[in-house]
Structure 1
Amino acid sequence: MSTLELLDEKLIHPPLIPNLSGWKRFCVEFLFFGIKEARACLFVGLFFLSIFIIPKSGLLGIPRYDVLFIIAICIQIGMVYTKLETLDELKAVMLFHIIGFALEVFKTSANIHSWSYPDFAYTKVLNVPLFSGFMYAAIGSYIIQAWRLLDVKIYHHPPYTFAVIVSLLIYINFFTHHFLGDYRWYIAATVLGLYARTTVIFTPYDRERKMPMLLAFILIGFFIWLAENISTFFGIWKYPNQITSWSMVHTGKWSSWALLVIMTFTITIFLKHIKKTVYIPK
């Protein structure tokens, strides 16, 4: 077992402090929750750190987008090599990469032009840099890692058939709303009905805590929206209204990210070691 694996074990099964109660318990649980969340965001954190430190002009003559692509691959290889991520989990992350990249190609096409990647890169395919898929893969990586570290269990999850259908509708609507109208809020209303009773159980320290699954989707979507604002501020990609000067990403994108989280979550639960902790009411 590698040193990093041992550290993960220490996080999952920390040494217990006797007679812990009151504000001391709150502080300890909050601390461990923060540490576990930071650890689950390892891929996300390292990737976005590279966005901050790699200059717009690139590095050693290599364009910025290409450097980011190389860094993303190195992070992924490092996580598998250190056994912080299994090969099965890597396959899921790569699936998120493909799904995200396909969406990027469509959204940046000349007819749609929802956003653009203005910089030159050797690793651009159909005007989309290959690193962009890793931004979607980062969401899947976070969910997989957080599930294990926080010993997540899901109660009253809707039947898989309904969850899959809604996820497909979410993804399809990202494409078809340009031609057939945006049915996002109808889908969101369906999501509210499906997941109204769904509860996520997680263990920050030694006791199980719970929160509504819908709240988890909203919170994760919010932090992705913040990351999107940071990325556009650094000019990684730009929306049409940001071409001349930066402005905050519209809050409507928050709902889009929350829906995308639901789709990513649905794919994630089909991993064998995760599906066992999802409970569907009979």
Structure 2
Amino acid sequence: MLRDLRLHLPRPGVRELTVVEERIDAWARGRLQRLRGRRARTWLVELTVFTLKQGWACLFGALLLALLLAARFWYPDGAWLARNDALTLAALGLQVGMLATRLETVREMRVVLLFHVVGTVMEVFKTDVGSWSYATEGVLRVGAVPLFSGFMYGAVGSYLVRVFRIFELRFDRYPRRWVTAVVAAAIYANFFTHHWVADARWVLVGAVVVVFGPCVMHFRVHAARLRMPLLLAFTLVASFIWLAENVATFAGAWLYPSQEAGWHPVGGAKLGSWFLLMIISVVLVTWVHPPQRPDAPATPGDATGGH
């Protein structure tokens, strides 16, 4: 899993940091300066930084889940503003607030908007064919899809684009981006076409393994640079999205047909769908943050380099 437990000095001035990220790095830098030679405690600091930065990268998604749960348990029935419309306005307020307070960068926001569009198009189709459904209330919607659903896809995009930057992701043997784009396009198309022709998802999973299998992801926590197989990273993130999906359906954000008679956990088979959606998500992000090799010099915003 994790290899190359070497310590490297951070490279200042090459990343666009938000206020919170600057404070996390400042705290870690101070602790590590006092712990020179104490390897066990040094790694405890690195683990703490890793946890804090992962939580920070998930901030928008976590706040959105909190909104969904709050609306489920505390939003009054019969309120003049429909619950779905209130969720849309609250999610929009979260997004504006994160930009205004520098908790999210404008560059990240562009990726989030792209995820909104891609996700909403699929939502409109999937609700039309009955794959899942939303409560029929409110006016802020496209067809049967309330606009807050786009923010849920945006939360995935927000997380991915932030970990690219926060952890300075680098890649050994990353496939050519045009190849990844072809695979991602085929996956996206299959989400639509499998309703009429044979479902090719397992063929696509095999294609993902072939294309991304050789790739190793390198990431920097604070002073430590670690690595893991990229497919493992995809699987871990997909698993967390699946857990978040269970929270969201419990909160009544949407329901699958089997949950309409009573909520139950989303089946593990959905992990495959989220794994494939991860590929689309990563490919979208890499068109904004081109993948760089581990020995490539870091550049502001990762605007150059790649394959």
When the two structures are superposed, what TM-score results if normalisation uses the length of structure 2?
Answer: 0.84
CA distances 1:62-97 after superposition (whole Å, capped 9, x unpaired)? 222111111111111112212333333212211100
Task: Indicate if the aligned counterparts of 1:118 and 1:237 stay in contact, CA closer than 8 A.
Answer: yes
Residue in structure 1 matched with residue 98 of structure 2 by the alignment: 79
1:10 aligns with 2:23: yes
Choose which of 138, 153, 156 in structure 2 pairs with 1:121.
138
Matches of 1:30 and 1:81, distance apart in 2:
30
Stretch moving more, 4-13 or 43-52 = 4-13
Residue in structure 1 matched with residue 154 of structure 2 by the alignment: 137
Residue in structure 2 matched with residue 239 of structure 1 by the alignment: 256
Say how many residue pairs are matched: 274
**Any residues of structure 2 matched to 1:125-204 within 5 Å, and which?**
125-204=142-221
- The letter for the 1-side match of 2:165 is R
Q: Kindly tell me: are residues 275 and 251 of structure 1, through their superposed partners in 2, closer, same or farther at Cα, counting changes over 3 Å? A: farther
- The letter for the 1-side match of 2:213 is A
Task: Tell me by how many angstroms 1:21 deviates.
Answer: 4.4
Choose which of 30, 37, 46 in structure 1 pairs with 2:47.
30
Task: Indicate if the aligned counterparts of 1:57 and 1:64 stay in contact, CA closer than 8 A.
Answer: no
Q: Kindly tell me: are residues 277 and 220 of structure 1, through their superposed partners in 2, closer, same or farther at Cα, counting changes over 3 Å? A: farther
**SS state at 2:276 partner:** helix
**SS state at 1:178 partner:** coil
Task: Indicate if the aligned counterparts of 2:111 and 2:161 stay in contact, CA closer than 8 A.
Answer: no
CA distances 1:163-185 after superposition (whole Å, capped 9, x unpaired)? 00001011000000111111011
Choose which of 87, 90, 100 in structure 2 pairs with 1:68.
87
- The letter for the 1-side match of 2:111 is A
Percentage of matched positions with identical amino acids: 35
Choose which of 248, 259, 266 in structure 2 pairs with 1:249.
266
Q: Kindly tell me: are residues 265 and 277 of structure 1, through their superposed partners in 2, closer, same or farther at Cα, counting changes over 3 Å? A: farther
Structure 1 gap segments, 5+ residues each:
none
Residue in structure 1 matched with residue 109 of structure 2 by the alignment: 90
Task: Indicate if the aligned counterparts of 2:72 and 2:251 stay in contact, CA closer than 8 A.
Answer: no
**Any residues of structure 2 matched to 1:258-269 within 5 Å, and which?**
258-269=275-286
Matches of 1:277 and 1:108, distance apart in 2:
40
Matches of 2:178 and 2:172, distance apart in 1:
16
- The letter for the 2-side match of 1:108 is T
When the two structures are superposed, what TM-score results if normalisation uses the length of structure 1?
Answer: 0.91
Residue in structure 2 matched with residue 108 of structure 1 by the alignment: 127
Matches of 1:55 and 1:61, distance apart in 2:
16
- Point out which structure has higher relative CO (alpha carbons under 8 A, 6+ apart): 2
1:211 aligns with 2:224: no
Q: Kindly tell me: are residues 274 and 171 of structure 1, through their superposed partners in 2, closer, same or farther at Cα, counting changes over 3 Å? A: farther
